[in-house]
Structure 1
Amino acid sequence: MTFHSIRPFMGDIDALISEATDTDGKTYAQPAFKNLGSVSIVLVREVISPASFRNADAEITDIEVAGRRHVRAVANKFKFGERARGLQVLRHFNAGGVSPQNRTAFHKNERPSAKFDLNAFVFGDSANHGSRVLPVKAAAQYSDAVSVQDYGDAVDLTFHNRASEDGSLFDAQGKKNSTNIFERHFIKPGTLLIQTISFNGRTAPIEALEHLLLSVGLAGAYGGATSIYGINVRNHIVGIYGGRFERDLVSPYVALQTLRGQLIDGSDATAVVEALAAAHRAAWSVEVQGREVHAAQVALIDRLEGGDEVMAAGYTETAAKLRSYFDLWFDGVS
């Protein structure tokens, strides 16, 4: 995996730490200083089986964009599942993932590197360590995912009941009719959502990008209420774009308004991908086209499934460098 054209806008796995000096003239380690550079992965998430992205309310979360209502999936609705897959990849290579997701806990004398790994670097993490809190800011910044179609065209609902074993709604224990009747809102297959994942400041190395691509995979199960049914989203990569500065087009809200002006069919994944690619191509200095990224992603998956020893060695080497990074940052020694 090379991605030569975007390397100038990303970090270096061998230069993750920088030294700073305090008022007493003592030096200490901290994450590498940020520099000019931004890389964004632009995605179209295609719902292929009923999906649910909501909070406590029954309805799907939504937001108004320029006077029209759209489905809104906040960042964690996709990040959670991809972070979980990233942990599985690390466990496959025995290169991290020793803690369950969102349950990182340190024993009194453990080093930071005992639990923090490539997944923590990419997706972020934090944990208590004695009297300290160890925060790891995510290198990958997820945007909201916003539907191309209007809310009314993207959402439907079904009627459900929790019947008794005899098939009726009569509660034999309470001698009354059951109230276990409810409606479930869901996002219809064919709905397309725009999302971007960005690396800013040239602090994340190419190894982080490749791990993210593996974690995104080709398809996934998303949404707490519906992910138990299996894969419900197909991921289309529009492209990877790089430059010295971020572009406002990485906001799906800006991208959505750009698409509106082109009068394309909002349910045609190919048309939406092509329109987004054209807009980003005009905005950025460097592009890795979607078909190239897709091919690279498939190659990564094939190598993993094929037991590629070079890939395994690469994950082992990266894990060692990140262990040194976390220990130097939080404890001052590697």
Structure 2
Amino acid sequence: MEGKLLKEVIKLSSKIGTELMSILGKQYFTTEKINDIPALCQNNPKNVTILVIRETISPFIDRSDVPDESIWFRMPDGRNVIQVPARKFKSKEKIFGIKLLRLLGMVDSGYRYNHLTSRQQFRNPTSILMGETIVNPVKGEDTLSVPARALYTDVYSLRDREYITRKLTNNALNEERTMYDKDKGKTSSAFFQTEEVNPGTFFPALITIKDPTPELLLHMILSLQQTSYGASSATMGANFRNHIVGIVGSIIEPPVSSYLISYRFGQTVEKPTDVSTLTFEYVKKTLIDIETEMLTDGASILTGDKVNDLVNYIKSLKLQGDEIKEAYEVARKDIDEYIDFSFELKKNKRSGRKNNPNTPSSGSDKPGNIQTGTS
């Protein structure tokens, strides 16, 4: 009873948010203001993990500093699998999320990717999900950062790279001077090789959102409609399709990663007769089976028709319809409260230390860190 008296609870959710909570379980979301602490500032032990199979539908270039070789990793069983760093997916989905917000009028017109100058520019769902930093503050602004809530990991293929890649020869010159230089009377030799991941390759992936509101989950799912990844994506167009095959709610996040899926495939999972070809259904079953096996106490998983119905419901919503607008207005209010509360807390602590120079600073109040929870 005493605990109830200490809490002043203000509920806040949209129609779409209420629907998502009814399907996944409201215990995995934070939508309430408690003791005047905004929902996004509470740092509760709640997680929502999206299980995704990323399918290549066109050649995908996954390179680092070696132009003619994909990034690969040798697994304990000897397979050389393709490894795709998390940033190659996260950066594209962050940009796509900002584009959606521009369509909805939900992001500051001065926002520039990775070049923020004021707090106003990260008052949007993408910045709160993906993390953001004011790198070049204008006069009157501090250098602030918002930690990411959507956590990605590197993804790994199940098959050895010998089955899923090929090398192509390209010409570095433009079309006019492709083969023959008439002025010099010589044939060009400005060729180079690139290694591409073939269409029809499946990468199991997991994205976990920490202490989410349902509206942030909505924005994350919409951001997964991005289709172009990797090097040369500006010229290659769509090369991926993201399939959401499960959603997990948890208090303690299950210890599952794309690496673990690939590792278990090589160690204990019963393989198909011909490992050079893997079907979508096989990869889907492998991912869901391992995730289900590793569920922690209090966790639940949504799969099959139920997750398909949820994804189809979100896809059926009109991007500029009233329901989407309502959900994003709720998200905007949550984010405004989060930024205002965190910045004021930070400013007050700084002011307190200025008035009392003997007051030690805490690790959670380092300059540049926005407060994201209470102790």
Q: Report the 3-state secondary structure (helix = DSSP H, G, I; strand = E; otherwise coil) of the residue aligned with 2:145.
A: strand
Q: Call closer, same or farther: CA 1:213–1:2 in 2, change over 3 Å.
A: same
Choose the corresponding residue for 1:56, options 49, 59, 65.
65
CA distance in structure 2 between the aligned counterparts of 1:195 and 1:17, rounded to whole angstroms: 37
Structure 1 residues 250-261: aligned runs within 5 Å: 251-260=257-266, 261=269
> Which of 219, 223, 226 is matched with 1:211 structurally?
219
- CA gap of 1:181–1:151, structure 2 versus 1, over 3 A, is same
Q: Deviations over 1:163-183 (max 9, x none)?
A: 676666343455654331111
> Comparing 232-241 with 291-300, which one deviates more in the overlay?
291-300
Is 1:42–2:51 an aligned residue pair?
A: yes
Distance 1:52 1:233 in 2: 11
Q: How far apart are 1:95 and its partner, in Å?
A: 1.5
Distance 1:256 1:54 in 2: 20
Among 254, 267, 270, which residue is 1:262 paired with?
270
Equivalent residues of 2:71, 2:84 under 8 A apart: yes
2:24 pairs with 1:12:
no
Moved more, 77-86 or 90-99: 90-99
How has the CA–CA distance of structure 1 residues 95 and 290 changed in structure 2, closer, same or farther, with 3 Å as cutoff? farther
| Aligned counterpart for 1:116 among listed residues 110, 120, 123 | 123
Partner of 2:243: helix, strand, or coil? strand
Structure 1: stretches of 5+ with no match in the other structure? 19-28, 107-111
Q: Is residue 2:301 matched to residue 1:287?
A: yes
The one-letter code matched in structure 2 to 1:118 is P
> Please, which of 149, 163, 181 is the counterpart of residue 139 of structure 1?
149
1:101 Cα deviation from its structure 2 partner: 1.9
Tell whether 2:163 aligns with 1:157.
no
Normalising by structure 1, we get a TM-score of: 0.84
Tell whether the 8 Å contact from 1:31 to 1:329 is kept in structure 2 after alignment: no
Match of 2:86 in 1: 75
1:78 aligned partner, one-letter code: F
* Identity across matched positions, percent: 22
- CA shift in 2, pair 1:297/1:31, >3 Å: closer
Shift of 1:142: 0.6
**Cα offset for 1:124?**
0.9
Give the CA RMSD over aligned residues. 2.7
- d(CA) in 2 for partners of 1:227, 1:7: 40
Contact 2:125–2:335 (8 Å) recurs in 1: yes
Paired amino acid for 1:52: I
Partner of 2:10: none
Does the CA contact (< 8 Å) of 1:126 and 1:134 recur in 2? yes
C-alpha separation between the residues in 2 aligned to 1:232 and 1:187?
A: 10
SS in 2 for 1:46: strand
The residue correspondences of 1:294-305 to structure 2 (distance < 5 A) are: 294-305=308-319
Shift of 1:247: 2.0
How many angstroms does 1:90 deviate by? 1.3
Q: Deviations over 1:83-117 (max 9, x none)?
A: 111112211221225313222223xxxxx234431
| Larger deviation, residues 71-80 vs 286-295 | 286-295
Kept in 2: contact 1:121–1:137 (CA 8 A): yes
Q: Does 1:2 align with 2:20?
A: yes
Preserved contact between residue 65 and residue 253 of structure 1 (Cα < 8 Å) = no
- C-alpha distance in 1 between matches for 2:288 and 2:20: 21
Amino acid at match of 1:39: V
> Cα 1:174–1:115, aligned 2, differ >3 Å: closer, same or farther?
farther
Q: Which amino acid aligns with 1:53?
A: D
Aligned length, in residue pairs = 313
Deviation at 1:136, TM superposition (A): 0.8
Offset at residue 319 of structure 1 (A): 1.1
Given that 1:70 and 1:146 are in contact with CA atoms closer than 8 Å, whether structure 2 keeps it comes out as yes
In the superposition, the TM-score normalised over structure 2's length comes to: 0.75
Partner of 1:231: 238
| Alpha-carbon separation, structure 1, partners of 2:34 and 2:47 | 17
Residue of structure 2 in register with 1:100 after alignment: 112
Q: Supply the distance in 2 between the matched residues of 1:16 and 1:297 (Cα, whole angstroms).
A: 34
SS in 2 for 1:95: coil
Q: CA deviation at 1:313?
A: 2.1
Q: Determine which of 59, 72, 75 is the counterpart of 1:65.
A: 75
2:227 match: 220
Segments of structure 2 that go 5 or more residues without pairing to the other structure are 1-18, 348-375
Q: Distance in 1 between matches of 2:147 and 2:340?
A: 16
